[in-house]
Chains A and B, each alone.
Chain A
Amino acid sequence: MSVATATLGGYGRGRAAEFVSDVWVLTKRSIARIRREPETLAEVTIQPILFVLMFAYVFGGAIGLPGGGSYHEYLIGGMLGMGLAQTAPGTAVAVVSDMSTGLIDRFRSLPMSRAAVLTARTIADLLTQVIGAVVVAGVGLAIGWRVHTNAADVIAGFALALLFGYAFTWAGVCLGMVLRSPEAAQQSGFIIFLPLTFISSAFVPTQGMPGWLQPVAEWNPMSSLAAACRHLFGNPNPAAAVHAWPTQQPELAVICWSIGMLLVFAPLAVHLYRRKALG
């Protein structure tokens, strides 16, 4: 078959290079979408701003920090985690939408890397999270949040937040794979992600919670992330007074949680994609 050989002869690049190229092409696709519909960024821009302002000026006055300190400075470490976790329902919505259109069939009939579709999704969402982190930091600076450590610690704080956020995105991908409609994916935001952020030290110290709830909140990864950021930024961190492993070693806890989630959710997402794909 002359036609066949001609076409087959047309590729020589290695699989790794093909994977990187496919991820880049598909990431550009998601960025183009954001450029056309910037309102999809509302969840990492407008929402965090509203939350920061509400907590700083409405609830904040009623929240006392054990050991004292500025609630405005306390708030930003927690807000950073929430801002990044909030993108996961958006990831799920995007995955459900993609899976329910013919576009995924098209991708699967092309000589492209199959893992690239999901990887590109998470990278585009990581870029969204970077925007979210910048917005949270910006509004934080505006309400009086300041860092009191060195540049390396501050960078480490943001890097931990983004690592955690990226791992969380894979959970969003899995959610998108098992849910059937974008509406259901949107709902998951309230059902899963709100309790996850609020039953933690993201906005209030765990010391004020009922005794039975305290261990739940202390072991919540969102608490670890908030504590790690507060510690690295030099902000008030009442969790340091709590004698539990994740409150004493918040940075390590965040790294463990992130790696754990990546190890579970990334292979699971790929498995679900393959299974769904091949019917």
Chain B
Amino acid sequence: MTETPAIEAEGLVKNYGKTKALAGFDLTVPPGTVYGLLGPNGAGKTTAVRVLATLLRPNGGRAQVLGHDVVAQAADVRRLIGLTGQYAALDEYLTGRANLIMIGQLSRLTAAQARKRADELLARFSLTEAAGRAVKTYSGGMRRRLDLAASLIGHPAVLFLDEPTTGLDPSARAMMWDIVRALAADGTTLLLTTQYLEEADQLARRVAVMDGGTVIAEGTPDELKTSVGGEHLEIVLPAGADVEAAITALKPHAAGTIKPSEDGRRLSVPVEAADGLTTSVVRALDAAAVEVNEVTIRRSSLDDVFLSLTGHLAETETEAEGSAAE
């Protein structure tokens, strides 16, 4: 049973001068799924979305949305997609309702259909009260919701969400997540780019990790976590411990690169789950005369996937957001 993929990209290339924003980008998104495109700033996520949403013409490769070529059949693609970019794509001087009606009419709804659909979406996104106010008076979270409402107005079968929660406070983010889940439940295909590993883990059924303009890993979040070693040993050493000796002692037990923390007191060791592992690790450290304060086992997170694939950490949430979330 082969179903037309909602999104299919093969070898997409996009150059900006000498910079390769996309260097052979491949992607297959089955219909009706939430698909996460994960990567650090500059990995090419936004460029990939802009090519798929017909806003950019690729320099090479091809891509289809529901079987329509994004270059040759761009007009057909535009009738099937919705796009919510990183910046709220709204007219600041119009009211929320007027924005939706305008975009509805430009999406080929009649004026009456657009008004009806606008009111539906305003109610759905808790914006009815603010509907009569100019968008420039809206908060960040309200803008994002209105922006998302705008991209839904033409009932798109495929929705592109480019970093939909960047810069939102935790409650606004939680609201966006609920909306994404509800859309997915309705059968909309969503391609979601994010720098937040947690977001991809929470929302996406499958994830592609991007770096340097290509997909460097693809699979379900669980598959990806397993691929970098199912588990991690977190070892905390006392101050002044011999970190090099500890790493040497741990190497035979590690399933990948051992990453010391910046102060050298915390080691993260990818391991294959095995009976008696903790015992043998502690013995090995003891034999090397390394004292240990703490040993804990944890399941790999997408952070580990990211670190092991790209060699650097994902741009995680800012300090302020992180502490506000706690």
A112 CB, nearest partner CB in chain B, Å? 4
CB–CB B98/A32 < 8 A: yes
Complex Cα–Cα for A101 and B94 (A): 14
**Interface residue A37 (Cβ < 8 Å from any Cβ of B):** yes
Residues of A within 8 A of B103 (CB): 106, 110
Query: Residue-by-residue, is B84-102 near A (CB-CB < 8 Å gives 1, otherwise 0)?
Result: 0111111111100010001
CB–CB B81/A109 < 8 A: yes
Query: Residue-by-residue, is B259-301 near A (CB-CB < 8 Å gives 1, otherwise 0)?
Result: 0000000000000000000000000000000000000000000
CB–CB A102/B106 < 8 A: no
Complex Cα–Cα for A36 and B92 (A): 11
Query: Residue-by-residue, is B127-151 near A (CB-CB < 8 Å gives 1, otherwise 0)?
Result: 0000000100000000000000011
Selected from B16, B83, B105, the residue in CB contact (under 8 A) with A109 is B83
Residues of A within 8 A of B107 (CB): 110-112
**Interface residue B253 (Cβ < 8 Å from any Cβ of A):** no
The verdict on A4 contacting B78 (CB below 8 Å), with A33-B94, A279-B57 known, is no
**Interface residue A271 (Cβ < 8 Å from any Cβ of B):** no
Q: Which residue of A lies closest to B86 (CB)?
A: A102
CB–CB B55/A105 < 8 A: yes
CB–CB A10/B89 < 8 A: no
Residues of A within 8 A of B108 (CB): 10-11, 13, 18, 111-112
Residues of A within 8 A of B201 (CB): none
Residues of B within 8 A of A26 (CB): 102, 106
**Interface residue A7 (Cβ < 8 Å from any Cβ of B):** yes
CB–CB B67/A106 < 8 A: no
B21 CB, nearest partner CB in chain A, Å? 9
Q: Which residue of A lies closest to B76 (CB)?
A: A8
**Interface residue A127 (Cβ < 8 Å from any Cβ of B):** no
**Interface residue B157 (Cβ < 8 Å from any Cβ of A):** yes
Complex Cα–Cα for A37 and B16 (A): 39
**Interface residue A103 (Cβ < 8 Å from any Cβ of B):** yes
CB–CB A106/B94 < 8 A: no
CB–CB A277/B55 < 8 A: yes
In chain A, residues 9-34, which have Cβ atoms closer than 8 Å to a Cβ of chain B?
10-11, 13, 18, 21-22, 25-26, 28-29, 32-33
Residues of B within 8 A of A142 (CB): none
A207 CB, nearest partner CB in chain B, Å? 47
CB–CB A108/B54 < 8 A: yes
Residues of A within 8 A of B68 (CB): 4
A25 CB, nearest partner CB in chain B, Å? 5
CB–CB A279/B16 < 8 A: yes
Complex Cα–Cα for A37 and B134 (A): 11
Q: Which residue of B lies closest to A13 (CB)?
A: B108
Complex Cα–Cα for A111 and B153 (A): 12
Complex Cα–Cα for A32 and B96 (A): 13
Complex Cα–Cα for A3 and B158 (A): 10
**Interface residue B155 (Cβ < 8 Å from any Cβ of A):** yes
Q: Which residue of A lies closest to B81 (CB)?
A: A109
A159 CB, nearest partner CB in chain B, Å? 31
Complex Cα–Cα for A108 and B88 (A): 14
**Interface residue B80 (Cβ < 8 Å from any Cβ of A):** yes
Residues of B within 8 A of A10 (CB): 79, 108
**Interface residue B56 (Cβ < 8 Å from any Cβ of A):** yes
In chain B, residues 32-70, which have Cβ atoms closer than 8 Å to a Cβ of chain A?
50, 53-57, 66-68
In chain B, residues 133-179, which have Cβ atoms closer than 8 Å to a Cβ of chain A?
134, 150-151, 154-157
CB–CB B106/A107 < 8 A: yes
Complex Cα–Cα for A29 and B53 (A): 24
Can you list 17 residue pairs at the A/B interface with Cβ under 8 Å? A1-B31, A1-B157, A3-B157, A4-B67, A18-B108, A25-B106, A29-B98, A29-B102, A32-B98, A102-B85, A102-B86, A102-B90, A106-B103, A110-B78, A110-B103, A110-B154, A111-B108
4 smallest CB-CB distances across A and B, nearest first, come from A102-B89, A106-B89, A102-B87, A3-B157
